[in-house]
Amino acid sequence: MASYNRVVLIGNVTRDIQLKYTPSGLAVTEIGLAMNDKRKNAQGEWVDEAVFVDVTLWGRTAEVASEYVSKGSPLFVEGRLKLDTWEKDGEKKSKLRVVGERIQLISSKGGGGGSGSGGNNGAANNRRPEASPMDDSYSEAPSGGRGNDSFGEDEIPF
Protein backbone atom coordinates (compact mmCIF):
# COMPACT_ATOMS: atom_id res chain seq x y z
CA MET A 1 0.00 0.00 0.00
CA ALA A 2 1.36 3.42 -0.96
CA SER A 3 1.39 6.28 1.51
CA TYR A 4 2.12 9.98 1.37
CA ASN A 5 2.55 12.28 4.37
CA ARG A 6 2.92 15.97 3.41
CA VAL A 7 1.45 19.06 5.00
CA VAL A 8 1.52 22.59 3.56
CA LEU A 9 0.37 25.46 5.77
CA ILE A 10 0.33 29.24 5.53
CA GLY A 11 -0.60 31.11 8.68
CA ASN A 12 0.50 33.50 11.40
CA VAL A 13 2.83 32.55 14.23
CA THR A 14 0.97 32.64 17.56
CA ARG A 15 3.89 33.15 19.97
CA ASP A 16 7.51 34.24 20.02
CA ILE A 17 10.04 31.54 19.21
CA GLN A 18 11.96 29.92 22.07
CA LEU A 19 14.98 28.09 20.69
CA LYS A 20 16.24 25.11 22.69
CA TYR A 21 18.99 22.58 22.15
CA THR A 22 19.01 18.83 22.72
CA PRO A 23 21.83 17.35 24.82
CA SER A 24 23.59 16.46 21.56
CA GLY A 25 23.48 20.13 20.46
CA LEU A 26 20.66 19.93 17.88
CA ALA A 27 18.46 23.06 17.76
CA VAL A 28 14.72 22.59 18.23
CA THR A 29 11.73 24.88 18.63
CA GLU A 30 7.98 24.53 18.71
CA ILE A 31 5.83 27.21 17.15
CA GLY A 32 2.10 27.68 17.01
CA LEU A 33 0.55 28.53 13.66
CA ALA A 34 -2.94 30.03 13.28
CA MET A 35 -4.97 29.85 10.08
CA ASN A 36 -8.48 31.05 9.28
CA ASP A 37 -10.89 28.81 7.44
CA LYS A 38 -13.79 30.62 5.79
CA ARG A 39 -16.96 28.57 5.37
CA LYS A 40 -20.72 28.94 5.19
CA ASN A 41 -22.76 28.10 8.27
CA ALA A 42 -26.24 26.52 8.33
CA GLN A 43 -27.84 29.94 7.72
CA GLY A 44 -25.72 30.47 4.59
CA GLU A 45 -23.56 33.19 6.17
CA TRP A 46 -19.79 33.22 5.77
CA VAL A 47 -17.95 32.67 9.04
CA ASP A 48 -14.26 32.55 9.92
CA GLU A 49 -13.10 29.56 11.91
CA ALA A 50 -9.65 29.69 13.46
CA VAL A 51 -7.43 26.59 13.28
CA PHE A 52 -4.34 26.26 15.48
CA VAL A 53 -1.52 23.82 14.73
CA ASP A 54 1.69 23.07 16.64
CA VAL A 55 4.78 22.83 14.43
CA THR A 56 8.17 21.48 15.53
CA LEU A 57 11.26 22.74 13.71
CA TRP A 58 14.70 21.12 13.96
CA GLY A 59 18.30 22.05 13.17
CA ARG A 60 19.14 25.04 11.01
CA THR A 61 15.45 25.57 10.23
CA ALA A 62 14.76 26.13 13.95
CA GLU A 63 17.71 28.53 14.25
CA VAL A 64 16.58 30.60 11.26
CA ALA A 65 13.03 30.74 12.61
CA SER A 66 14.26 31.97 16.00
CA GLU A 67 16.30 34.70 14.29
CA TYR A 68 13.74 36.04 11.83
CA VAL A 69 10.26 34.96 12.95
CA SER A 70 8.25 36.50 15.77
CA LYS A 71 4.69 36.46 17.05
CA GLY A 72 2.28 37.51 14.30
CA SER A 73 4.71 36.80 11.44
CA PRO A 74 3.11 35.23 8.36
CA LEU A 75 4.87 31.95 7.58
CA PHE A 76 4.77 29.16 5.01
CA VAL A 77 5.51 25.70 6.47
CA GLU A 78 5.94 22.42 4.64
CA GLY A 79 6.40 19.19 6.57
CA ARG A 80 4.80 15.95 7.70
CA LEU A 81 2.30 14.82 10.32
CA LYS A 82 3.48 13.00 13.42
CA LEU A 83 1.37 11.46 16.17
CA ASP A 84 2.83 11.82 19.67
CA THR A 85 1.48 9.48 22.36
CA TRP A 86 2.18 9.41 26.09
CA GLU A 87 0.63 8.35 29.35
CA LYS A 88 -0.25 10.81 32.14
CA ASP A 89 -1.84 9.76 35.42
CA GLY A 90 -2.63 6.34 33.95
CA GLU A 91 -4.50 7.89 31.03
CA LYS A 92 -3.25 7.53 27.46
CA LYS A 93 -2.98 10.83 25.58
CA SER A 94 -2.10 11.68 22.00
CA LYS A 95 -1.52 14.77 19.92
CA LEU A 96 -1.15 15.24 16.18
CA ARG A 97 1.56 17.74 15.27
CA VAL A 98 3.47 18.89 12.19
CA VAL A 99 7.21 18.35 11.88
CA GLY A 100 8.23 21.35 9.77
CA GLU A 101 10.92 20.46 7.25
CA ARG A 102 10.87 23.68 5.25
CA ILE A 103 9.77 27.22 6.02
CA GLN A 104 9.49 30.39 4.00
CA LEU A 105 9.09 33.83 5.46
CA ILE A 106 6.23 35.76 3.91
CA SER A 107 6.28 39.53 3.77
CA SER A 108 3.49 41.08 5.80
CA LYS A 109 3.70 44.14 3.54
CA GLY A 110 1.77 44.15 0.27
CA GLY A 111 2.97 42.11 -2.67
CA GLY A 112 4.18 38.87 -1.09
CA GLY A 113 7.66 38.01 0.02
CA GLY A 114 10.80 36.24 -1.00
CA SER A 115 11.45 35.40 -4.61
CA GLY A 116 8.10 33.68 -5.03
CA SER A 117 7.72 30.29 -6.63
CA GLY A 118 8.87 31.00 -10.14
CA GLY A 119 12.26 30.72 -11.71
CA ASN A 120 14.39 29.05 -9.06
CA ASN A 121 13.92 25.42 -10.17
CA GLY A 122 14.04 24.08 -6.63
CA ALA A 123 17.20 26.02 -5.72
CA ALA A 124 15.61 27.14 -2.46
CA ASN A 125 15.99 23.62 -1.09
CA ASN A 126 19.75 23.73 -1.63
CA ARG A 127 20.54 27.06 0.01
CA ARG A 128 23.66 27.35 2.06
CA PRO A 129 22.99 28.43 5.69
CA GLU A 130 24.98 31.66 5.30
CA ALA A 131 22.60 32.90 2.58
CA SER A 132 19.96 35.41 3.60
CA PRO A 133 16.79 33.66 4.78
CA MET A 134 14.78 36.65 3.67
CA ASP A 135 15.52 35.71 0.05
CA ASP A 136 14.09 32.20 -0.07
CA SER A 137 12.95 29.30 2.04
CA TYR A 138 15.13 27.23 4.31
CA SER A 139 15.29 23.55 4.93
CA GLU A 140 17.60 21.06 6.50
CA ALA A 141 19.49 19.66 3.53
CA PRO A 142 19.83 15.89 3.90
CA SER A 143 23.39 14.64 3.64
CA GLY A 144 24.06 13.07 0.29
CA GLY A 145 21.15 14.97 -1.21
CA ARG A 146 21.20 17.01 -4.35
CA GLY A 147 23.38 19.89 -3.30
CA ASN A 148 25.47 22.48 -5.07
CA ASP A 149 28.68 20.57 -4.30
CA SER A 150 29.36 19.73 -7.95
CA PHE A 151 29.42 23.41 -9.01
CA GLY A 152 32.22 25.92 -8.59
CA GLU A 153 31.38 29.24 -6.93
CA ASP A 154 30.91 31.04 -10.29
CA GLU A 155 29.17 28.03 -11.91
CA ILE A 156 26.11 27.91 -9.63
CA PRO A 157 23.10 27.81 -12.01
CA PHE A 158 20.98 30.40 -10.18
| pLDDT values of the chain reduced to their tens digit, one per residue, 158 residues | 899 999 999 999 999 999 999 999 999 999 999 999 888 889 999 999 999 999 999 999 999 999 999 999 999 999 999 999 999 999 999 999 999 999 999 876 654 444 333 333 333 333 333 333 444 444 443 333 333 334 344 444 43
Q: Does some domain include residue 117?
A: yes
Q: Does some domain include residue 2?
A: no
pTM of the model: 0.65
Quote the domain boundaries for residue 138: 7-155
Q: Does some domain include residue 75?
A: yes
Which of 137, 130, 122 shows the shortest CA–CA distance to 57?
137
Residue 101: CB atoms within 10 A of its CB come to 20
Q: Does some domain include residue 52?
A: yes
Residues 6+ apart with CB under 8 A from 58: 26, 27, 28, 99, 140
Number of domains in the chain: 1
| CATH at 143 | 2.40.50.140
Q: Does some domain include residue 1?
A: no
